Amino acid sequence: MAPSNRLVNVSNRVALPKAAGAPGGLAVGVLAAMRASGGMWFGWSGEISPDDAGVSPPEITSREGITFATLRIPATLHERSYSGFANGTLWPLFHYFLDGFRYDDEEYEAYQAVNALFARELVPLLREGDLIWVHDYHLIPLGERLREHGVRAPLGFFLHIPFPHYEVLRALPKCADLMRALLAYDVVGFQTNTDRQSFLGAVQALWGRDCISSSGVIELWDRRVQTGVFPIGVDVSAISANAARAVSSARVQRMKEGLLGRRLLMGVDRLDYSKGLLERFEAYRRFLEECPEHHNRVTYLQIAPLGRQNVSAYARIRDALEQSSGRTNGQFADVDWTPIRYLNRNFPHATLMGFLRLAQVCLVTPVRDGMNLVAKEFVAAQDPADPGVLILSDRTGAACELTEALLVNPYDTRGIARALKQALEMPLAERRARHEKLLAALARNDIHSWHERFLEALRRPHARVPDGCGLNLTAA
């Protein structure tokens, strides 16, 4: 049979186009990439099955030239693996939240079991010539399991979130097992050079320096693993066109009318403690305290859809945000002015881009983020003739490329308050000059080049992978 070179993407969650549910950056990025290449997307359907029902084979549907193969996962296994090990252990640890991190053997075993299940159900669907691209921290052991089934196809792994320094990683009892699992892939990709260096540092700490070449290839046991930096981007022209079109839609117009001529500050984040929302709310309160001249002239719209509600840390941050926004509104609101509008809901992506186009300032202040697509979407959505200003945390992957944003330390609430004032008072010429450079950075490295560069590395795993588009990808 002739090789098909079909792309098989595997991620924890598969996002069918236009399906309801909390969106995430991974789904947005993979869907945009798959629209260009076609192929198969394999993963969890988002539905759980009763524990005693057994696992049924994946459900197959086709849309927009993409085959979606989705699995249901038994309830307890899912709870322990997804809410437990993936989001109670790996997510906080990889985002440097050592005090929010926990480890439990049963949860780790469930995580391994889900990966074994993915491998077992995926293998019968594979064809000769497939390129297999596995995404993110939920599926680190999948490559090893596929190899055990005899899969010899090129296997790539991309980590969407930060990779922590070894001194943080080693808090995890199973850290050497996970590191060994990553060496089952042919290509392991990261968002920034800092992440890649942390990974290589962990390899060195565990197995010595001699197995790492100067170009970041690891040769260990019978494996040869290429590492690379592949910063994820956005579909710049599609976002720009969608945002311009969405501005005249009824929903975006309704939001605009509600502003009563006030200037719009915006934040869009999944509700997550890594996104720096509490510090951001505090910074806005400081800004209102220190800049009375802006009272009743700005509205801060924060959109933060809920997800991962079974993880207790998420319930805590949700309560804290409700209290904080209530306090600010209580302190500053007037009969015709609500300083913060805080919404826990999803919007169609195009509507969101329309909101972003109308914003004079976008606040993206995570305390740690692999990349952050919202920062890039905001830049792409702006009107180049009258663009808004991006305030961006220096602890995001995006800060390595978007150096013309107002870069802030996300814990420095006074610094963020100052940046807000600077953004609102920035002259048009400076806004345009900054926006032009930001847009050029997006164009150098959009969603298509992310996906093409990764696939190129996967097709030729022995070629040298560059450090990432000639950009400075060392985190600020």
Interacting residues with ligand ADQ between 329 and 368 (CB under 6 A):
346-347, 349, 352
- The answer to whether 303 contacts ligand ADQ (rule: CB under 6 A) is yes
Which residue from 14, 28, 380, 473 is in contact with ligand ADQ, where contact means CB under 6 A?
A: 28
* Helix, strand or coil, per DSSP, at residue 193: helix
Which residue from 128, 127, 181, 174 is spatially nearest to 159, judged by alpha carbons? Answer: 181
CA pair distance 209, 205, nearest whole angstrom:
8
Beta bridge partners of 132: 8, 155
Query: Which of the following is catalytic: 78, 95, 135, 160?
Result: 160
**Which residue is nearest to ligand ADQ, using beta carbons?**
25
C-alpha span between 475 and 410 (Å, rounded): 14
Instruction: Compute the least distance from the CB of residue 117 to ligand ADQ, in Å.
Output: 23
Q: Is 248 helix (H, G, I), strand (E, B) or coil?
A: coil
> Which pair of structure tokens corresponds to residue 429?
């010429």
Report the distance separating Cα 398 and Cα 374, nearest Å: 10
CB atoms within 10 A of CB 430: 12
| Interface pick for ligand ADQ out of 119, 131, 169, 374 (rule CB under 6 A) | 374
Distance, in Å, from the CA atom of 310 to the CA atom of 217, rounded to the nearest integer, reads 39
* Count of residues that bind ligand ADQ according to CB under 6 A: 24
Considering beta carbons, is residue 211 or 447 the nearer one to ligand ADQ? Answer: 447
For residue 474, state whether it binds ligand ADQ (rule: CB under 6 A): no
Contact assessment for residue 397 and residue 369, using Cβ atoms and an 8 Å cutoff? yes
* 31 binds ligand ADQ, rule: CB under 6 A: no
- Minimal distance, residue 372 CB to ligand ADQ, in Å: 5
CB of 281 to ligand ADQ, least distance (A): 17
Q: Is 160 a catalytic residue?
A: yes
369 is catalytic: yes
Q: Which of 78, 138, 145, 270 binds ligand ADQ (CB under 6 A)?
A: 270
- Beta-bridged to residue 337, according to DSSP, are 334
Instruction: Report in angstroms how near the CB of residue 221 gets to ligand ADQ at its nearest.
Output: 30
Among 373, 442, 465, 471, which residue sits at the site for ligand ADQ (rule: CB under 6 A)? 373
**Contact status: 393 vs ligand ADQ (CB under 6 A):** no
Q: Give yes or no for a contact between 196 and 366, defined as CB atoms under 8 angstroms apart.
A: no
CB of 29 to ligand ADQ, least distance (A): 5
In 259-311, which ranges are continuous DSSP H helix? 277-290
Footprint on residues 203-262 left by ligand ADQ (CB under 6 A): 232
> Does 26 help bind ligand ADQ (rule: CB under 6 A)?
yes
Give the burial class of 409: count Cβ atoms within 10 A of its Cβ; 0-12 exposed, 13-18 middle, 19 or more buried: middle
Instruction: Give residues in contact with ligand ADQ (CB under 6 A).
Output: 23-26, 28-29, 160-161, 232, 268, 270, 303, 305, 346-347, 349, 352, 369-374, 377
Catalytic site residues?
Answer: 160, 369
